[in-house]
């Protein structure tokens, strides 16, 4: 198993443990807001959390990998639920991931949705609608020849998320400090939780390759890598 594959597997397993602690066990350390709890309860059936066994099975010793949280027939999408963002209370971060090494160039894509419940009053009823917005972080190909981030209105499969249908999903594309699947996922975590919390999480895992990847991102940000 290559270093990238092994490191990415360990990173996702660490995130899976966070998912279990925050959303399954509702550990008080995460201080989940009631709106985030209610939102998760609405999402968990149409977007089931990926099982640890299946997550592990996606990472193999094969030279050619096609990792996808979705099912082969496209009728199901497993996701990872990340902890609620402390500075954006009430939103549930929902993550899915793809990495296809059989393509030239390889394709890496990580989609993150921030979903919340919004109280709505209609003429004949009152309801809570799922609302949100997403971002797609992916490798470069074609017109976007660089690792970048774009807006995303929804994931490929799942519940209806209310999001303005006029939001652009192809332009603009914002360059990000990633050059491999590991740094791509780290960029997702940095965008949600900031440098301090992301660094704390990475250091707690004790994975040298993961720490090195975060240091490379920090070097690019500071200009030390130029």
| Domain annotation covers residue 186 | yes
| Domain annotation covers residue 107 | yes
The predicted structure's pLDDT at residue 127: 65
The predicted structure's pLDDT at residue 123: 53
Q: 11: pLDDT confidence band, cut at 50, 70 and 90?
A: very high
For 74-133, how does the pLDDT look when each residue is reduced to its tens digit (9 = 90+)? 667 889 999 999 888 999 999 999 988 887 778 899 999 999 998 765 555 556 789 999
| Token pair listed for 201 | 């999480």
| Domain annotation covers residue 29 | yes
Q: Which residue has the higher pLDDT, 145 or 134?
A: 134
The predicted structure's pLDDT at residue 190: 93
| Domain annotation covers residue 64 | yes
| Domain annotation covers residue 225 | no
Range of the domain at 155: 3-220
Q: 218: pLDDT confidence band, cut at 50, 70 and 90?
A: confident
| Domain annotation covers residue 226 | no
Report, as an integer, the average pLDDT of 124-151: 80
**Count of domains for the chain:** 1
Asked if pLDDT for residue 225 goes beyond 50, the answer is no
| Domain annotation covers residue 18 | yes
For 153-203, how does the pLDDT look when each residue is reduced to its tens digit (9 = 90+)? 888 778 888 888 888 888 888 888 888 899 999 999 999 999 999 999 999
């Amino acid at each position: 198993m290559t270093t990238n594959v092994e490191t990415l597997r360990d990173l996702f397993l660490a995130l899976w443990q966070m998912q279990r602690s925050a959303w399954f066990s509702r550990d008080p350390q995460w201080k989940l807001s009631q709106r985030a709890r209610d939102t998760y309860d609405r999402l968990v059936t149409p977007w089931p959390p990926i099982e640890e066994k299946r997550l592990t099975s996606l990472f193999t010793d094969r030279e050619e990998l096609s990792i996808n949280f979705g099912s082969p027939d496209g009728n199901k999408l497993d996701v990872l639920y990340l902890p609620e963002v402390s500075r954006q209370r009430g939103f549930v971060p929902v993550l899915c991931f793809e990495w296809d090494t059989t393509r030239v160039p390889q394709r890496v894509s990580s989609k993150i949705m921030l979903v919340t419940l919004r109280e709505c009053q209609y003429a004949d009823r009152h309801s809570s609608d799922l609302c949100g917005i997403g971002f797609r972080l992916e490798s470069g190909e074609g017109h976007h020849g660089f690792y970048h981030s774009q807006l995303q209105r929804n994931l490929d499969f799942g519940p209806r998320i209310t999001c303005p249908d006029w939001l652009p999903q192809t332009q603009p594309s914002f360059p990000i400090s990633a050059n491999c699947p590991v740094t791509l996922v780290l960029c997702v975590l940095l965008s949600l939780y900031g440098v301090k919390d992301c660094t704390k999480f990475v250091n707690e895992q004790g994975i040298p390759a993961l720490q090195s990847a975060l240091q490379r991102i920090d070097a690019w940000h500071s200009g030390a890598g130029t």
